[in-house]
Amino acid sequence: MGANEPLLVIQRLRQTITKGRYGIDYTIIPRDKNNLLREKYIVDDRKIREILNGLSPKDYISSEKSINEDFENDTVHIFIKTVDLIKRYAGIEYTKVKLYIKLSWTKNGSVKMFIISFHEAEE
């Protein structure tokens, strides 16, 4: 993995979000942890796009081969980003939340970006 890889991944991510359509060109996998973030904090699609567009190389952790048998030729990219979010039903104060973000572009069939994980980072 080259030194420029995080920047290239981020550029491709931003291009996918800017030119693509949610649910067609990219989607968030509806896993329990991902859904819990939306239940616990005020996080809508606009906020998710804002957070993803705000990723920088310093948020990048690693890239690795997919362990999913259906997408074994894909590479997943992992980021950790701390953002300010408002807890749902708890007033209007912002809370620092560390997010774990894992995404990939599938090579099976048409190219789509899957946001595999978008949830609070586990300590």
The full set of domains in the chain, from first to last, is: 5-120 (3.30.2310.40)
52 φ, ψ to 5°? -65, -40
Residue 114 pLDDT = 82
End-to-end alpha carbon distance in the chain: 26
Please give the model's pTM, rounded to 2 decimal places: 0.87
* pLDDT less than 50: residues of the chain: 1
DSSP H or E segment with residue 9: helix 5-19
DSSP code of residue 22: B
